[in-house]
A and B are shown apart, each in its own frame.
Chain A
Amino acid sequence: MTDARFAAEYEGPLLEVSDVKTYFETDRGLVRSVDGVSFTLERGKTIGIVGESGCGKTVLSRSIMGLLPRRGLVRQGSIRFEGNELIHLTPKEMRAYWGSQLAMIFQDPMTSLNPVMKIGKQITESIREHLDVDKDFAYELAENLLRSVRIPEPARRLREYPHQLSGGMRQRVCIAVALAAGPKLLFADEPTTALDVTVQAQVLDLMAQQQSERFMAMVLITHDLGVVAGRADEIAVMYAGRIVEKAPTSVLFRDMKMPYTQALLSSIPKLADESHVRLATIPGRPPDLVNPPKGCKFAPRCAYVQDRCKEEEPPLTPSTSPGHEFRCWFPVGTPEGEAALERNKQKGLRATEALVAADTVET
Chain B
Amino acid sequence: MLHVNGEAFEVRDAAVGESLLFVLRERLGLMGTKGACEQGECGSCTVLIDEQLVCSCLVLAAGAQRQRITTIEGIATETPTDVQRALVDAGAVQCGFCTPGLVVAAHSLLERSPRPSESEIREELSGNVCRCTGYGRIIDAVQRVAVSRASAREVGL
Co-complex (A, B): no
